[in-house]
Amino acid sequence: MTNSVEATGDAIVTKSSKKHGPWVPFENPLTSLPETAQKILEAASRLLRERGYPAVTLENVAAEAGVNKASIRYNFGNKAGLVAAVVDALIHDECLRMVADAHNVTDEDRLHTAMVGIQGMIVSADAFRGFFDILPHAFRDDDLRERMFDLYEWWYKQNLEWLGLTAEGTEGEAHELLMGLAELIAAIPDGLSVQIGLNPEHFDLSRPLAALEFLLRNSMGQLAALSGPHRDSAG
């Protein structure tokens, strides 16, 4: 795989000329960036994990990494570029794991695996907790908002993949319903994360996920009839 990473002045752009194996919408910055940039990224990730998003300032990151602010701007453009790279690094390995999980289950187990994956996003993975910490700030930052939404567009495809479905090759009402389902499932971890964050000791996460699994299981026949050919069975 050939990678190139460009600092565009406002944000970091990661490119891949060829994909092999499970695909995620970005490369891992911790392996594709120069050593100084990796050092900065690790410092920013520590600050986010230990002190939260407000602590991820250029001043704090520079002090934590032992570099000056000019080095951060040179490598990442600005704070939005740095935070976008932090997001990529936080969830890269977790995304690979989830993609692999979707490919390594039987059709019978796909739905339950999807529910386990959603639950893991909400309560198990430090990566996704960092993602949800950053998310509200993306609404006020155009560069960061665009980068975060790129990830959501990948989530839409992955949500259908989890269920053994695809919107590719479909059109009209079937395409709209499948994409609507993908968007709805993408919204579920966000909404449940808010609720469990407000009531962490008493909110029963298993209840809404069991209800979601029940509803999807009773709709899978109809959804499969709408789906395009799934890549696992397409020759």
Average pLDDT over residues 52-70: 94
Listed ranges 29-33, 64-68, 120-124, 162-166; the one with the highest mean pLDDT: 64-68
pLDDT at 27: 63
pLDDT band at 66 (very low <50, low <70, confident <90, very high): very high
Q: Lowest-pLDDT range, 34-48, 100-114, 180-194, 202-216?
A: 100-114
Question: Which residues in 109-141 are b (16+ Cβ under 10 Å) and which e?
Answer: ebbebbbbbbebbbeebebbbbbebbbebbeeb
Q: What is the pLDDT of residue 158?
A: 83
pTM above 0.75, yes or no: no
Q: What is the pLDDT of residue 124?
A: 65
Contact 29, 75 (CB under 8 A): no
Comparing 31 with 178, the larger pLDDT belongs to 178
pLDDT tens-digit series, residues 74-116: 998 888 888 888 877 776 666 677 777 767 778 788 888 888 8
Instruction: Output the average pLDDT for the chain.
Output: 80
Q: Which residue has the higher pLDDT, 115 or 71?
A: 71
Higher pLDDT, 147 or 19: 147
Distance (Å, rounded) from C-alpha 190 to C-alpha 214?
A: 20
Share of the chain above pLDDT 90, in %: 35
> Does pLDDT of 209 surpass 90?
yes
Cα separation values, 198 from 81, 91, 192, 209, Å: 30, 23, 10, 18
pLDDT at residue 16 in the model = 36
More confident residue, 13 or 143: 143
Whether the pLDDT of residue 233 is over 50: the answer is no
The domains of the chain, with CATH numbers, are 3-230 (1.10.357.10)
What's the mean pLDDT in 153-160? 85
pLDDT range class, residue 155, cuts 50, 70, 90? confident
